[in-house]
Structure 1
Amino acid sequence: MTGTVTDVPRAADRRRTRRRRGRAWGLLGCGMVLAVPAALLVVRLTGLDAGTPLAMPMVLFPYSAVLAVLVLGVMVAVSALRSRWALAVVAALVVAHVALLVPRFVPEGRHVPSDSVELRVATVNTNSGGADPRALVELVRTERIDVLAVEQMPSDGVDALDKAGLGALMPYQELHPEYDSSIYSRHPLSHAGTTQVDTAWPQTTAEVAVGGRRVQLVAVHTYYPLGDVNRWTRDMTALTSMARRSGPDAVFLGDYNASLDHTPMRRLLAAGLTDTHAELGHGWARTWPVGHALVPPMIQLDHVLHGSGLVGISVGERTLPGTDHRAVVAVLALLPAKGRAMAASSSLLPCTVCQPGPRR
């Protein structure tokens, strides 16, 4: 009888020991999983991704927020993991992520006067001319695109688009396949050429008259951080300098190889540009990669940014056969200027970093 009584507390001790060990291992596992969101949060807050290899994992920042929320849910659901200090730490991590991400999901709701003039723009990286030219021309036709920026389109891609009928829809063209970006337009272009700034390759620029005002266009294609993160950072810095010199009537559209969580992109936006997706509450757009059976589009590298003289009305992504990027289509409206004279004379500063180039 004595042996039986003695065995009862021993068995209870063993159960408590197993529970403590299980809890310790569970908390350790949660901590290991949360190391990723915590590290990315530190990088996001400190800007350590600019010019460093940390730029690559920063594209996963929104996913790290989801991961943190899932871990918090597990800790709340499993009683053995309900440690006050652990829950407080994880909750703080979730709150920090949410605070940084929520603004891009909340539409700004800016008023657009009914008589505002619209500008319909699109951008697509053609993947070295791999995009189906007929599909791209059909996109321009059905979406009634006014301005199209194309990136990574070689000379044979230019010819293919011309044969598919793009020239009939957009007869005004500033083509620089050797520099990886070109501009097509329904309306006449002026002051067209390429930039003379410190980028891996010149960016194609032009101006288009819309509603009696001149809108500066920049077809953007930066270097990619996986290839040379310093080169990519310099490209983004050069674009930021251009944005500071531009007036409110400006549209920078293209493949930035950057997400909204990258420090260089945030600096570019702080120079006076607005991301149309974030402005309209489409904060988790995904434009790359496309065409992979096992990997869906996960991150946004392609953006339409505009100055304060314009406002976004709508934005969306379109999939085209043959390219690994989704096209971005945006409808912008020109906000009324304080005076027509002011709008005509000072809505756009002269482009001081451009050189003329060949046109069609």
Structure 2
Amino acid sequence: MTGRKWGLLGCGVVLAGPFALLVARLTGLDAGTPLAVPMVLFPYSAVLGVLVLGVLLAVPVLRSWWAIAVTAALVVTQAALLIPRFVPDSRSVPAGSAELRVATLNADAGRADPRALVALARSERIDVLAVEQLPPGGVTALEKAGLGALLPYHELHPEYDSSIYSRIPLTHSGPLAAGTAWPQVTAEVTVGGHTVRLVAVHTYYPLGDAKRWTRDMTALTSVARGSGPDTVFLGDFNASLDHAPMRALLAAGLTDTHAELGHGWARTWPAGNALVPPLVQLDHVLHGSGLAAVSVGERTVPGTDHRAVVAVLALLP
């Protein structure tokens, strides 16, 4: 086999993964299947496609026009799927709109530094904080660190794996009636004359059981359909924007805050590893049409393998 054929074969082998992920992305084959795990790497597969296309164009011996055409088609399709999340929505927020400042953090079974989390809540002037994987010991540690003085209202369910702290009084709070692996926690707050429904999310994980994770996402989608425009789902979804179940949840009337503001490649996991930087976004703030994003960002809290997501949402008249 000639060097040209070996080179083209190598390019084909490299592109096999991106092609497989593209097919799964277009068809939704990741829902309930092991493809849900590598689907978080879809943006990286797009970068790989661009690199291979560049090699085919730059190296004369590999300049096969059919290979270039096929690779270009792959890259264009990937770009069409990814570019919208990098383009901010044009919707404007009326001056003087009431705002709700929210944050979410997976505390990694209580390993998150409680003083750092309290400092984050204070510096960001958080109104509502959703915490996942917070065991009873973590609840006690946060109380000792002073979180109760900042966010005195709470719906704490360490046995269910998600909890809500709030500066604003909570109403209609408790476990969410949905068929998830463990109950999600829900509550309502009143801001600027709006009653906002909150759902603190922690789904099952696809690496453990992709079908169970898909059922969790489907259950949340059913809840979202009946939640109205003043709704915020925030937490660890164990899903990226490329997962079919996440896209179904968004289609039920929710907007991803990062994508809305054009922050298309946020990364929240894994955190806290000196050798491996955060690679994928599993933690999200989603909201209904009655709200609009003002700002969003990720914050590092020592001790946990997730980054916190902090968002400011405006209530629309």
Using the aligned pairs only, state the percent identity. Answer: 78
Match of 1:81 in 2: 62
Larger Rg: 1
CA-to-aligned-CA distance 1:118-150 (integer Å, 9 cap, x gap): 100000000000000000000000000000000
* Number of equivalenced pairs: 317
Match of 2:290 in 1: 309
Q: Partners in 2 of 1:213 and 1:112 — Cα distance?
A: 16
Structure 2 gaps of 5+ residues are none
Match of 1:22 in 2: 3
Match of 1:318 in 2: 299
User: Which stretch shifts more, 326-335 or 287-296?
Assistant: 287-296
- The 5 Å alignment of 1:47-58 reads 47-58=28-39
Q: Partners in 2 of 1:86 and 1:237 — Cα distance?
A: 39
Alignment of 1:217 onto 2:198:
yes
CA-to-aligned-CA distance 1:238-276 (integer Å, 9 cap, x gap): 000000010000000000000000000000000000000
CA-to-aligned-CA distance 1:206-262 (integer Å, 9 cap, x gap): 000000110000000000011111110000000000000100000000000000000
Q: Partners in 1 of 2:142 and 2:7 — Cα distance?
A: 57
Match of 1:348 in 2: none
Match of 1:174 in 2: 155
- The 5 Å alignment of 1:60-79 reads 60-79=41-60
State the Cα RMSD in Å: 0.7
CA-to-aligned-CA distance 1:44-87 (integer Å, 9 cap, x gap): 00100000011001000000000000000011100111111111
Deviation, 1:293, is 2.3
Whether the 8 Å contact between 1:276 and 1:306 is mirrored in structure 2 is: yes
Match of 2:124 in 1: 143
Q: Partners in 1 of 2:125 and 2:83 — Cα distance?
A: 32
CA-to-aligned-CA distance 1:93-133 (integer Å, 9 cap, x gap): 00000000000000012110111101000000000000000
- The 5 Å alignment of 1:86-97 reads 86-97=67-78
Match of 1:113 in 2: 94
Query: Aligned partner of 2:29: which letter?
Result: L
Q: Partners in 1 of 2:67 and 2:118 — Cα distance?
A: 55
1:260 is paired with a residue of what secondary structure? Answer: coil
Whether the 8 Å contact between 1:244 and 1:271 is mirrored in structure 2 is: yes
Selected match of 1:296 from 272, 277, 285: 277
2:96 is paired with a residue of what secondary structure? Answer: coil
Q: Partners in 2 of 1:187 and 1:87 — Cα distance?
A: 57
1:272 is paired with a residue of what secondary structure? Answer: coil
CA-to-aligned-CA distance 1:282-331 (integer Å, 9 cap, x gap): 01000000112221100000000000000001000000000000000000
CA-to-aligned-CA distance 1:174-225 (integer Å, 9 cap, x gap): 1001000000000101000111211000000000000011000000000001
Selected match of 2:229 from 222, 226, 248: 248
Give the structure with the larger helix fraction: 1
Match of 1:265 in 2: 246
Selected match of 1:160 from 99, 123, 141: 141
Selected match of 1:237 from 215, 218, 228: 218
Could you list the structure 1 runs, at least 4 aligned residues long, displaced by more than 3 angstroms after superposition: none
Q: Partners in 2 of 1:275 and 1:213 — Cα distance?
A: 20
Q: Partners in 1 of 2:178 and 2:47 — Cα distance?
A: 39
Structure 1 gaps of 5+ residues are 1-19, 337-360
TM-score, normalised on structure 2?
0.99
Alignment of 1:103 onto 2:103:
no
Query: Aligned partner of 2:30: which letter?
Result: D
Q: Partners in 2 of 1:308 and 1:79 — Cα distance?
A: 52
Q: Partners in 1 of 2:189 and 2:225 — Cα distance?
A: 19
Q: Partners in 2 of 1:279 and 1:226 — Cα distance?
A: 28
Query: Aligned partner of 1:42: which letter?
Result: V
TM-score, normalised on structure 1?
0.87
1:178 is paired with a residue of what secondary structure? Answer: coil
Alignment of 1:129 onto 2:129:
no
2:221 is paired with a residue of what secondary structure? Answer: helix
Match of 1:5 in 2: none
Query: Aligned partner of 2:280: which letter?
Result: I
Whether the 8 Å contact between 1:109 and 1:280 is mirrored in structure 2 is: no
Q: Partners in 2 of 1:170 and 1:109 — Cα distance?
A: 33
2:174 is paired with a residue of what secondary structure? Answer: strand
Q: Partners in 2 of 1:25 and 1:213 — Cα distance?
A: 63
Q: Partners in 2 of 1:108 and 1:183 — Cα distance?
A: 29
